[in-house]
Amino acid sequence: MVKSSCSDSSLISLTGLTSCSSSSSSSSGCSCDSSSSSSPYYSSSCYYTNSSSSCSSSSSSSSSCFTYTSDSCSSSSSCTNSSCSSYDCKCNCKCDPKLVCVKPCKDTCKRLACNWKKCKHVLCANKEIMVMLNFIKNKLLAVQPNVDVRHVADYSVQGNIHWLEHFVDTLFCVLRKNNSLNCIKFKDCKVKNDDDCQVSDRLYVIKVKFSNGHKKCTRTYVLNFNWTRLTGNNANSYNGILDTVVSQINTYVTELQAQNTSPFLGC
Residues 154 and 216 in one domain: yes
The reported pLDDT for the residue numbered 94 is: 55
Q: What are the distances in angstroms from CA 165 to CA 159, 225, 229? A: 10, 9, 16
Q: Determine how β-strand 17-32 pairs with β-strand 185-190.
A: unpaired
Q: How far is 156 from 249, CA to CA, in rounded Å?
A: 28
Residues 50 and 178 in one domain: no
Domain count, the chain: 2
Tell me the per-residue pLDDT of 77-127, one tens digit each, with 9 for 90 and over. Answer: 433 444 434 444 444 455 567 788 888 778 878 877 777 777 888 989 999
At 262, is the pLDDT very low, low, confident or very high (cuts 50, 70, 90)?
Answer: confident
At 2, is the pLDDT very low, low, confident or very high (cuts 50, 70, 90)?
Answer: low
Q: What are the distances in angstroms from CA 151 to CA 38, 157, 217, 233, 235? A: 57, 12, 45, 10, 8
Residues 79 and 150 in one domain: no
Comparison of pLDDT for 87 and 225, the residue scoring more: 225
- Choose one of 101, 134, 158: the last residue of a domain: 101
Asked if pLDDT for residue 14 goes beyond 70, the answer is no
Percent of the chain with pLDDT over 70: 62
Residues 79 and 169 in one domain: no
Comparison of pLDDT for 193 and 248, the residue scoring more: 248
Tell me the per-residue pLDDT of 149-191, one tens digit each, with 9 for 90 and over. Answer: 999 999 999 999 999 999 999 999 999 988 888 899 999 999 9
Half-sphere exposure of 90 toward its Cβ, with a 13 Å CA cutoff?
14
Residues 131 and 221 in one domain: yes
The verdict on residue 33 lying in a domain is yes
The verdict on residue 31 lying in a domain is yes
Percent of the chain with pLDDT over 90: 42
The boundaries of the domain holding residue 66 are 16-101
How open is the CA angle 230-234-235, to the nearest 5 degrees?
100
What average pLDDT is seen over the chain? 73
- Choose one of 74, 101, 128: the last residue of a domain: 101
* Helix (H), strand (E) at residue 25: strand 17-32
Q: How far is 124 from 127, CA to CA, in rounded Å?
A: 5
Asked if pLDDT for residue 11 goes beyond 70, the answer is no
The verdict on residue 2 lying in a domain is no
Laid out side by side, the sheet with 202-212 consists of 3-4, 215-225, 202-212, 185-190
Q: How far is 208 from 185, CA to CA, in rounded Å?
A: 6
Residues 130 and 253 in one domain: yes
The verdict on residue 113 lying in a domain is no
Q: How confident is the model over 9-21, as a mean pLDDT?
A: 39
Residues 133 and 22 in one domain: no
Residues 205 and 164 in one domain: yes
Residues 159 and 222 in one domain: yes
pTM over 0.95: no
Burial, 77: exposed, middle or buried (Cβ in 10 Å; 0-12, 13-18, 19+)?
Answer: buried
The verdict on residue 143 lying in a domain is yes
Q: How far is 95 from 81, CA to CA, in rounded Å?
A: 28
The reported pLDDT for the residue numbered 226 is: 95
The verdict on residue 11 lying in a domain is no
State whether residue 13 is helix, strand or coil. Answer: coil
Q: How far is 162 from 171, CA to CA, in rounded Å?
A: 14
Residues 54 and 144 in one domain: no
Residues 154 and 69 in one domain: no
The verdict on residue 218 lying in a domain is yes
Could you tell me which residues come within 8 angstroms of residue 227 by beta carbon, excluding any fewer than 6 positions away?
161, 199, 200, 201, 202, 241
The verdict on residue 82 lying in a domain is yes
Residues 33 and 150 in one domain: no
Q: What are the distances in angstroms from CA 31 to CA 84, 111, 138, 190, 253? A: 10, 49, 51, 69, 52
The reported pLDDT for the residue numbered 267 is: 52
* Helix (H), strand (E) at residue 222: strand 215-225
Could you tell me which residues come within 8 angstroms of residue 60 by beta carbon, excluding any fewer than 6 positions away?
23, 24, 25, 26, 29, 31
Asked if pLDDT for residue 236 goes beyond 80, the answer is yes
